Structure 1
């Protein structure tokens, strides 16, 4: 198991290095010279070649590419992503609070997704092809097919405008989490519960279930065992739910005016604030790699067959 975990973690580190280099190249591949973008963001009325050259030297953009990358990577490891081109503030002072706000929304949404997926998966598996199963799957298909912004607009109209029960924007109270969490959770739970349902239906036809019934086990005990085996399939899926949610909050955060990474990234893209964009891409991609590695290690703990080749 130690070798299995070490190999997965080593792969994750190599992927992080590749991702960091690609994130660094975003600034180099930008259609507008970064130094020129800084000058425009600072409100310089007349941008000349001399000012651009001066700003490049000030930002270290006149150095060889690999030296720039090495310096940027060393600083990024310490969460020092430089200064924002638009505000002049340290990038992490903008990214840190936004990340914590998005992480709160992501944690609540991930918990809702797991609870809904497991509950609906078990409910439908125990009623395979009966009308409750078909109705649940039909409703899930309909809700999953809805664009998030459209579903968000309907929920705001119903619960905020008509019923006046929930706030339309911001994160002032616990009630502010309800609508954005519902928009995020409905779509993903509608997909994930079908995986658990299919896995449980397949598991109920296994030989160990037949032997359990022959030995007098109750249906509740058998269902718990089948669910435990089905969750081995669901662990990697749930493990990737957090980074997927981190990346998919852009629309929801902008609809509900949530002060998180999604809102910050849109403002950075519109303002060509490259240091903020680089930090956002690096943070998001790194979360995918880290959570994928952790979910693989957990899957190996739950299912020894995954590491039998080591």
Structure 2
């Protein structure tokens, strides 16, 4: 197991290098001059002499492959340069914002898991009952409504009309409720339906029939055998979305003024803060790859038939 994990971590390195290369190429293909972007973010009108000095300082007068080599060497040391807007090291700024994004991501993921499992299980076990119909209705609603519109609706009802929950900021558990619900509802809609169909499919399998003929209780069959296999596609989907949540859900963080990484990235785009954009791409690539690794490990634990080589063990 340890060798498998080590190999997967080593495989992250070329992926991240590829992400940095693509970002580097796109930045140099764009019409935006990094030196001009620096002065623009600082609200300074530069002269040609200042631009020339700044380009030399940034190493923009060196060959591209040399610039890329220097960039990779700095990134390996977690040195993403200095933000054009704040004048502070980018990694220092990111570390201040990651806890807020992590808090929001984990609360949304926990809410998604709990509600999806309960609704998916109830919808499958009580098929074509009022529980199933209510679950379907909530799933259709969650899947069809845009995230930003849902956020506005929640703010209007729970903050403006009822004055129960705060509109923006961070601090208490009340600040987490609306953004977590906004993030979770779409995922709940997807995974509730996915788990329902997966449970119904597993209930038709022969091992369930054999367990019933041996006199096992229906509740034991479902909880100990059916759920263990049925939840596998849900875990895979959640793992893919975990990387997305950890890198900051931009719309929700902007909507609720959540001081996370996603909002910081949006501000960097508007201000053409290139070091921050580069940091976001590298960090996003790492988090997505690590999330995929965690999903694979959980899948192997849940289903021992999956070998470390990715093949079923018979």
Short-chain TM bin: over 0.9
**1:42 & 1:187 partners in 2: Cα distance?**
39
Match of 2:222 in 1: 223
**1:123 & 1:107 partners in 2: Cα distance?**
24
Shift of 1:178: 0.2
Match of 1:308 in 2: 311
Match of 1:252 in 2: 252
Match of 2:78 in 1: 79
**Residue 204 of structure 2 is aligned to residue 205 of structure 1:** yes
**Unaligned ranges ≥5, structure 2:** none
Match of 2:275 in 1: 275
**2:186 & 2:39 partners in 1: Cα distance?**
42
**2:37 & 2:100 partners in 1: Cα distance?**
28
Match of 2:261 in 1: 261
The DSSP-based 3-state class of the residue aligned with 1:240 is helix
**1:30 & 1:101 partners in 2: Cα distance?**
32
- TM-score of the two chains, using structure 2 as the length reference: 0.91
Shift of 1:13: 2.9
**Residue 57 of structure 2 is aligned to residue 58 of structure 1:** yes
Query: What per-residue deviation string (whole Å, max 9, x for no partner) do you get for residues 113-161 of structure 1?
Result: 1111111111111012333212311221112211111111111111111
RMSD: 2.0
Alignment of 1:1-310 (within 5 A): 5=5, 8-48=8-48, 50-224=49-223, 225-247=225-247, 249-303=249-303, 304-305=305-306, 307-308=310-311
The DSSP-based 3-state class of the residue aligned with 1:89 is coil
The DSSP-based 3-state class of the residue aligned with 2:231 is helix
- TM-score of the two chains, using structure 1 as the length reference: 0.92
Q: Which has the higher contact order (CA 8 A, sep 6+)?
A: 1
Shift of 1:222: 0.9
Shift of 1:62: 1.6
**Unaligned ranges ≥5, structure 1:** none
